[in-house]
Amino acid sequence: MRTLSHNGNRCHVDVNVIKPVLRAYALGYLTATGPRLFGFLRTLRRPDVSTSDKLDMLYMILKTSTQPNKLPTAGAVIVGGATVLPRLILNVLQWVVSTLRGNKSLKLGEAFNARLSFACTFLSAWLAFELLNRDQAWVRKRAPSRSAADVDISSLESPRRLHPPPPSSHPQYAGKTVDLTLFVLCRAIDVAMITMWQSTRSSPWHPERWTPRMASFVRRMADPATFATSSAIIMWAWFYSPQRLPRAYNHWISEAAAVDDRLIKALRLARQGDFVYGQETGQGPLLESLCKDLNLPEDYGDPAKTIPIPCEVYHCGRAKSCEVHAGKRFLHGWKFAMELYLPLQLLTRIRSPTVKSFMASFKAAARSSSFLAAFIAIFYYSVCLARTRLGPKVFSYKTVTPQMWDSGLCVLAGCLACGWSILLEKPSRRQEIAFFVAPRAMATLLPRVYDKRYRLREQLVFATSVAVVLSTIKVGNEKRVRGVFGRILSRVLKE
Q: Are 337 and 369 in contact (CB under 8 A)?
A: yes
| DSSP assignments along 13-25, one per residue | E-GGGGHHHHHHH
User: Can you point out the beta strands (E) in 372-462?
Assistant: 450-451
What CA–CA distances, in Å, run from 383 to 129, 205, 389?
A: 43, 41, 9
Q: In which element (H, E) is residue 33 found?
A: helix 19-44
Measured from the Cβ of residue 31, the count of other Cβ atoms closer than 10 Å reads 13
Cα 388–chain centre separation: 34
Measured from the Cβ of residue 355, the count of other Cβ atoms closer than 10 Å reads 7
Task: List all residues 6 or more positions away from 110 whose beta carbon is below 8 Å from its beta carbon.
Answer: 475
SS3 call for 466:
helix
Distance, CA of 323 to CA of 316 (rounded, Å): 14
Among 407, 332, 408, 337, residue whose Cα is nearest residue 377 = 332
pLDDT along the chain (495 residues), means of 10: 44 70 91 82 77 82 86 92 88 80 70 88 95 80 52 37 47 84 94 87 76 80 93 94 86 88 91 88 86 88 87 88 93 91 80 80 90 94 92 88 91 95 91 92 89 91 95 87 90 85
Distance, CA of 192 to CA of 210 (rounded, Å): 23
Dihedral Cα 110, 111, 112, 117, nearest 10 deg: 90
Q: Domain locations in the chain? A: 2-133+463-493, 249-259+316-432
> Is the backbone peptide bond immediately before 308 cis, with ω within 30 degrees of 0?
yes
Distance, CA of 253 to CA of 239 (rounded, Å): 10
- The predicted pLDDT at position 1 comes to 41
- The predicted pLDDT at position 174 comes to 84
Q: How many degrees, rounded to 5, is the angle at CA 494 between CA 120 and CA 189?
A: 55
- The predicted pLDDT at position 102 comes to 67
pTM of the model: 0.83
- Please, how many CA atoms are within 13 Å of residue 136, restricted to the half-sphere of its CB? 0
Q: Are 493 and 79 in contact (CB under 8 A)?
A: yes
